[in-house]
Amino acid sequence: MKLSVIGCGYLGAVHAAAMAELGHEVVGVDVDPVKIEQLRAGRAPFFEPGLPEVLASAGASGRLRFTTELADAADAVVHFVAVGTPQSRDGNAADLRYVDAAIDGLLPLLKDGDLVVGKSTVPVGTARRLAERIAAGGSGARLAWNPEFLREGFAVKDTIEPDRLVYGVDDERDAAVLDEVYATAIAAGTPRIVTDFATAELVKVAANAFLATKISFINAMAEIAEATGADVTRLADAIGHDARIGRRFLNAGVGFGGGCLPKDIRAFTARAEELGRGESVAFLKEVDAINLRRRRRVVELAQEALGGAVFGRKVAVLGVTFKPHSDDVRDSPALDVAVQLKGLGADVVVTDPEGIDNARARHPQLLYSNATDEALRHADLVVLVTEWPEYTGLDPAHVKEIARGSTVIDGRNALDAAAWKAAGWRYVGMGRN
């Protein structure tokens, strides 16, 4: 099939490459000429495991093109909209200007029978509004909403082998078009839920709200553990054995971040308030507050570890991305912690396998080092905030030799506490006492 993908960021670039890999003829469109230049050269504009390989193989097949010209999408029959929906500058609501611009740009190109497929995460009600706009254009094209559940770090696999497909459609015929797009996944038995626009839009934000709640739940338990001497990791192991609860996403630590969870729960709250149902998701404000408190908690622990004398002390911050296996620092708890410590006067040195360029672009005031040992050398305090295997696998005896201090703060409860203690470290976890 001839497909276009409008917006080639973390979602769209992977989607475009994966769809071409699956045999479709794809044109990826983005307004960012630098990104398009890189994609044209077969280079991934961000770090995503497996993306360079699919870009290379799809590129070699001749089925994948990238352009800044939306007009080049005119031949496609299915147009995926994968532009950003960030938090608005003046509040919690999603900023829909990029989605609106993408639809406005597509309108004059649409032909009878074309299907516009929204993949961006949007407030419930957006698809209906956009469908009306497309209908008013008189082209005969229609809209479907097909939320995306990929996880950064596993985006290629998640796109090629999704765990479920959700189609929000007005007309069963549109589901048949999407079945053709996703023929490989459908043939592999991927569950598929065909529903209305509102449900499809809500599925995505409900899933993110649930995951955020699960993380903040265990972080709330960490706060109680800190006040009582309990160990939240043992607690999580114990309640996680209950299949109704499950152990996944139950790791206490510095909390969630990234380009999705924080802004999605805020946008959900804002939309629910517009609908007069603010009370129904008021708990998400608590989820957000617990989450942000954990970042401050790491900073407090660092102050305590330094005996209150933070100014001029060297703090090695291990990890800056919002999670491992990504270069994404959007709303990263790790970056937030580094910035707060710097604000208190610490000489913060941040290291990360993939996130330094993005972090430096946002916070040039921090010191960065690509070499873990350099970041650790003479550090008065070591703070792990992103659980990259490079850091969870560090040899505590080696770190002890090069660092000056002897306290490690494990902001992800990801280190082997016993091994660090055995090497002479004072180990400080989150909610572990």
166 binds ligand NAD (CB under 6 A): no
- Residues 343 and 240: their CA atoms lie apart, in Å, by 38
Tokens 């790790």 -> residue:
334
CA-CA distances (angstroms) from residue 417 to 136, 240, 243, 383, 425?
Answer: 62, 20, 27, 14, 9
- Residues 214 and 216: their CA atoms lie apart, in Å, by 6
354 binds ligand NAD (CB under 6 A): no
Q: Which of 10, 217, 322, 427 binds ligand NAD (CB under 6 A)?
A: 10
x/- mask, ligand NAD, residues 204-243, rule CB under 6 A, reads ----------------------------------------
Give catalytic status of residue 8 as yes or no: no
CA dihedral 335, 257, 248, 207 (to 10 degrees): -170
- Residues 313 and 291: their CA atoms lie apart, in Å, by 27
- Options 16, 39, 232, 260, the catalytic residue: 260
Amino acid, single-letter form, for residue 265: I
Angle between helices 283-305 and 333-343 (to 10 degrees): 50
Stretch that binds ligand NAD, among 99-107, 232-240, 241-249, 317-325 (CB under 6 A): 99-107
Q: Which of 5, 17, 18, 29 binds ligand NAD (CB under 6 A)?
A: 29
In angstroms, what is the minimal distance from the CB of 405 to ligand NAD? 36
When CB distances to ligand NAD are compared, the closest residue is 9
Q: Which one, of 386, 399, 407, 384, lies nearest residue 313 by Cα?
A: 407
- Residues 246 and 300: their CA atoms lie apart, in Å, by 30
In angstroms, what is the minimal distance from the CB of 418 to ligand NAD? 35
* C-beta of 231 vs 264, nearer to ligand NAD: 264
Tokens 């006040």 -> residue:
227
Length of the chain: 433
Return the residues of window 402-431 that contact ligand NAD according to CB under 6 A: none
In angstroms, what is the minimal distance from the CB of 44 to ligand NAD? 12
Structure tokens at 35: 């990104």
Cβ atoms 385, 254 nearer than 8 A: yes
Q: Which of 21, 152, 354, 387 binds ligand NAD (CB under 6 A)?
A: 152
In our burial notation (b when 16+ CB lie closer than 10 A, e otherwise), range 275-310 reads eeeeeebeebeebbebbbbbbebbbebbbebbeeeb
390 binds ligand NAD (CB under 6 A): no
* C-beta of 108 vs 343, nearer to ligand NAD: 108
Q: Which of 1, 25, 32, 283 binds ligand NAD (CB under 6 A)?
A: 32
Q: Which of 1, 74, 77, 101 binds ligand NAD (CB under 6 A)?
A: 101
Stretch that binds ligand NAD, among 28-36, 55-63, 230-238, 296-304 (CB under 6 A): 28-36
* C-beta of 98 vs 391, nearer to ligand NAD: 98
Structure tokens at 85: 């929906």
Cβ atoms 305, 233 nearer than 8 A: no
Stretch that binds ligand NAD, among 4-12, 125-133, 310-318, 418-426 (CB under 6 A): 4-12
Q: Which one, of 65, 153, 155, lies nearest residue 119 by Cα?
A: 155
Q: Which of 24, 35, 142, 412 binds ligand NAD (CB under 6 A)?
A: 35
* C-beta of 88 vs 303, nearer to ligand NAD: 88
260 binds ligand NAD (CB under 6 A): yes
CA 14 to chain centre: 14
Q: Which of 20, 54, 102, 302 binds ligand NAD (CB under 6 A)?
A: 102
The radius of gyration of the chain from alpha carbons, rounded to an integer in Å, stands at 23
82 binds ligand NAD (CB under 6 A): yes
Structure tokens at 225: 């553990």
Angle between helices 232-240 and 197-228 (to 10 degrees): 130
Q: Which of 150, 165, 318, 381 binds ligand NAD (CB under 6 A)?
A: 150
How many C-beta neighbours within 10 Å does residue 208 have? 23
* C-beta of 8 vs 109, nearer to ligand NAD: 8
6 binds ligand NAD (CB under 6 A): yes
In angstroms, what is the minimal distance from the CB of 19 to ligand NAD? 15
Structure tokens at 421: 């203690």
181 binds ligand NAD (CB under 6 A): no
Cβ atoms 17, 55 nearer than 8 A: yes
* C-beta of 259 vs 353, nearer to ligand NAD: 259
Residues that bind ligand NAD (CB under 6 A): 6-12, 29-32, 35, 82-85, 98, 101-102, 105, 120-121, 148, 150, 152, 259-260
Residues designated as active site: 260
